[in-house]
């Protein structure tokens, strides 16, 4: 009886390990794809996060239908997503896609998105500081 329970535990662990695809996007559903992208993004170096995020949403924008989108991202690593995002960017820019024509290159677009993200983070930090200062204010209105 002990051997059976031990084998059952080993089998269950092996099954759980086999199901985990920690370094690739799980594209079985949109929910699992978004969840795995969030997890992958948090494990990437800071310099690659924005490029990965922009690439993922570029692929999503190019593939409106869920089935095509999930097929395009399923099983891809972050580097493969970035490469695919660059390809889509270049082909859409060559077609005259208005949102991409305004950027001189992929790197220029990523740099501008990175600057926007930094500005947004600074604004959020200032707002948190202001809220904290208001909460600690000792002046009361009578």
Residue 68 belongs to a domain: yes
Structural domain total, the chain: 1
Residue 8 to residue 74: CA distance in whole angstroms: 30
Looking at residue 90, what is its pLDDT?
Answer: 95
Residue 9 belongs to a domain: no
Q: Are 55 and 25 in contact (CB under 8 A)?
A: no
pLDDT at 65 over 90: yes
Residue 102 belongs to a domain: yes
What pTM was estimated for this model as a whole? Answer: 0.71
Residue 95 belongs to a domain: yes
Among 85, 73, 88, 82, which Cα is nearest to 33's? 73
Looking at residue 142, what is its pLDDT?
Answer: 62
Residue 4 belongs to a domain: no
Residue 29 belongs to a domain: yes
Mean pLDDT calculated for residue range 120-139: 79
Residue 38 belongs to domain spanning: 21-130
How many H helices and E strands in the chain?
7, 0
């Amino acid at each position: 009886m002990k051997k059976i329970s031990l084998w059952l535990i080993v089998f269950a662990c092996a099954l759980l390990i086999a199901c985990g695809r920690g370094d690739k996007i799980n594209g079985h559903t949109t929910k699992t794809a978004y969840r795995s992208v969030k997890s992958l993004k948090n494990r990437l170096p800071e310099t690659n996060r924005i490029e990965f995020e922009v690439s993922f949403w570029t692929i999503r924008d190019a593939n409106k239908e869920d089935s095509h989108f999930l097929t395009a991202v399923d099983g891809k690593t972050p580097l493969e997503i970035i490469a695919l995002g660059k390809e889509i960017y270049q082909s859409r820019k060559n077609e005259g896609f208005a949102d991409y024509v305004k950027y001189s290159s992929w790197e220029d677009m990523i740099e501008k998105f990175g600057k926007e993200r930094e500005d947004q983070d600074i604004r959020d930090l200032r707002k948190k500081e202001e809220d904290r200062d208001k909460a600690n204010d000792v002046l009361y209105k009578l």
